[in-house]
Each structure stands twice: as C-alpha cells, then as structure tokens.
Structure 1
C-alpha cells in the first residue's frame, strides 16, 4: 500500500505531486507484486498555512477557485482509516489505485465554513493569478523553486487536470470528516496565535 496523491496520474505539470507520479511508476515496475496506490485529495491541514492571510488580510485564497470549481479534500484520519482497511484486508491484485476524499466543496463554501467557525462569516475566497500566488509565497520567504512548484500545483487544480482522473474513478463513498469538522481545527489554530 503506497500513499500517493490526487494528481499522481500526471507525469508533469502538477508541481510537487510529479514526484509521487514518479514513485508510483517505480513501484509499478515491480512484477508479481500487488500494489495499491492511495491517492487522497488536498489535505485539509494545508489550509492551516492560510491562518496568517486570514488574520492579517481578512481573506482566504489561492491560485485556484471560482464559481464552477470544486475542491476535493481529505482528512488524514480518513486516509489512515483507508490505509488500515487496505493493509488489513489485502484483497487487491496487481497494480491499482484508490482515491480518498472526505468532502468536495466549492472554494466559496470553504471560505464561508471556515469564516463561520472563526467568527468571520463574510470571509471571502479570493482566486489569485499564478503570478500573485508566486509573488506572495516568495515574499513570505518560500524559496523560488518551492513557490514555482506550489504555483504549478494550484494551476493544475484550477485547470482541472489535477482532479480529472479522480472524477473518472470517483470513490464509492466519501470519508467521515467533513469540512465543518476541519473548520473547528482551523478555528482552534486561528485563535491560539
């Protein structure tokens, strides 16, 4: 059982996830070995990197989003439960993929839900250009190469290519941890600083 990521079907154009594509390909070279690649959605915990933006600018956002954009998110507890299930049952043969998602929501819903949890119900989601996202990350001290990779990943989400294979192989059910549950974690971190 290999922990990978949504978007790992892409050999390029998906920022840091390209490394997970390469990892899957190396494992897939193993013959007579059963491999299940777990591809969770965007970890809720990644939104914790936006606490400063929310506190200082009263916005949340990224270089992805918009009216028709749907974010595929996963909670690490749901990922752990799925990994445990796969490891304890071992009922897969050959090389296969399983997608894991806890919730699928618009970025406006994400902003509204997090905003309600922290006492800012009008918190807006702002979709930045790739240039704005890159500039913001480098201004915050992220090395240029890392900022380039994260900008590329956001662009892959925005264009839809990062999620395209997920929608073709949608999981039978979503995980237990919903956005509203994560919003309480976000609020605890937000109020602790």
Structure 2
C-alpha cells in the first residue's frame, strides 16, 4: 500500500511510519521542515516537504495514495495570538478538499477522547468539529482515533513536583484516568490504515487505567520520592498557576474546563461505553523516561 503520514516525525507519526515500513508499505511523510527530509529518508520513507495549510500541496501529495493519516498539529499554548478555532477549521477543510480532489478512499484521523461532547471540553471541542467536517466526505471510509491522555503530558508536572513536593491539578487523587503511549496509538493507527473498511467509525486507544495517586506513586518511585501524592486544587488555583507561566489566558480557561470534566467523569463517558483492549506500553516504562528528564 501507498500511505501518506502527516505530522512529520512527531511522537505518533515516527513510530507509525516505522511500523508501516516494517510491514512493507510505501510511506510518504509530510513535514513543513526541510531539515527533516534526511531523517525521514533515513527511516526508508519518502519526504514531502510542504505545509498542510496548502491545499494544492496536500492534493498533489495525497494523489495516488491508498490511505492517508491526518492530524491537527498541537497548538502553541503560550502564543498570545493563537486562534485554535480558525486554525483547526482551516486545516480540516483543507483535508476535505485534498481528499476529495485526490480520490483517496481510506482515511485515519487523529481526534481525541472527549470529542463526543459538545461543550465543556475546551479546545477538544475543535476535534469534535474536525470529525464533523470530515464526516461530510462521501464514499470515503474514515476511522476517528480517540486516544486518551498521553503519558508524556505528565512531564508538565516536573516543575510542580520540584517546587511543592506533590503533583496537583483540578483533577487527581483517586480519579481514575486512562493513559496512553504514542507507541500504542501508532500501532492502532497502522492497523486501521491497512484494514479494509466501509463507512466511518470511532476507535479509542488506551494503554492503562490508573488512579492519579497510582500515577504519582509510580512516578515517585522512579524519581526517588516513593511517597509522592497527587492532590486536588481548585479551578482558580490551576488557572493562576498557568497564567503565571505566561500561558494564553483563553487556553488556560479551556484547560481548566476540560480537566474539571475529567474530574467529574463526563469526559470519559463514551470511552467507557466503547472501552478498547489496553495497549502494551505501561506507565512503569514511561516512568523511566520521566525520571531521566526529571
């Protein structure tokens, strides 16, 4: 198969590219960074240097492909001029136009847990919007991948642990949160890209389900703080912390809103109704990376 991968050599796209190549597929990786071309080719893939904001480039790159993996690039949360709604809307529409014009019939799109909700999810709401836009495609089979919280998001707690001796957020303690490794996401995406399908479907991806205190205990053991705890703080305390870091205030409000719904469980309702088999990579493996970075 000829497969197009967006996302350059990011956390998911790199292991996805490697998995597809190992299976014998022909892979082209889209990157906006010319410096990545040699790294992409070193893996055995072809590089398409351009931007997903360019519909003509996308259409040309997609043409002749058997399947395409699409994603929305992670936003810069510290950009004061960030307009996620507009950016995600434009990219989603670009994908639709390029898929239509190129004739691609199989698409796997990276969405997010929480995309089943129409409010209370912050910027995850725009993943829901992207799903809706892509769903308008005719005669195209689409899998919407909805991974849960990424292990590597836990890196953001390093500073808090060093400063306060605990992990803290407006979700935590005994809240049960599903987590996922990018490796397990890539494995699931590779399966979907290479599996025939008619119509659209949603697939959740998770590696492990743990209470936040279990997460704290595992990370604490890895960094030599076995009594590490994850405590709950208020939405206001969380917003004050993020704003003091220089984060975009709109994003701060969205994060607080989203994480409040993680705490009350609404964020994961559809996940538990469509619970996936858990992946292979467990938190104990990520904890080694966390400790090395800590």
TM-score, normalised via structure 1 length: 0.94
Aligned with 1:41 (options 122, 127, 148): 148
Distance 1:180 1:63 in 2: 24
Give the aligned partner of residue 76 of structure 1: 182
Q: 1:31, CA displacement in angstroms?
A: 2.1
| Cα shift at 1:77 | 0.8
1:2-151 equivalence runs, <5 A: 2-67=109-174, 69-89=175-195, 91-151=196-256
Query: Match of 1:163, SS?
Result: helix
- SS of the equivalent of 2:202 reads strand
* TM-aligned CA deviation for residue 161 of structure 1: 1.0
Structure number, greater radius of gyration? 2
> Any runs of at least 4 consecutive aligned residues in structure 1 with deviations exceeding 3 A, and if so which?
none
Distance across 1 between alignment mates of 2:290 and 2:269? 28
Alpha-carbon distance, 1:16 to partner: 1.5
TM-superposed CA distance for 1:127, in Å, is 1.0
Distance 1:170 1:49 in 2: 27
- CA distance in structure 2 between the aligned counterparts of 1:44 and 1:135, rounded to whole angstroms: 24
Alignment pair present for 1:189 and 2:293: yes
Q: CA RMSD in A?
A: 0.9
Q: How many aligned residue pairs are there?
A: 187
Q: Which has the higher contact order (CA 8 A, sep 6+)?
A: 1
Normalised by the size of structure 2, how large is the TM-score?
0.62
Matched, 1:174 2:281: no
Kindly provide the CA deviation profile for residues 90-111 of structure 1, in whole angstroms up to 9, marking residues without a partner as x: x322111000001100001000
- Answer whether contact 1:74 1:101 (CA < 8 A) is retained: yes
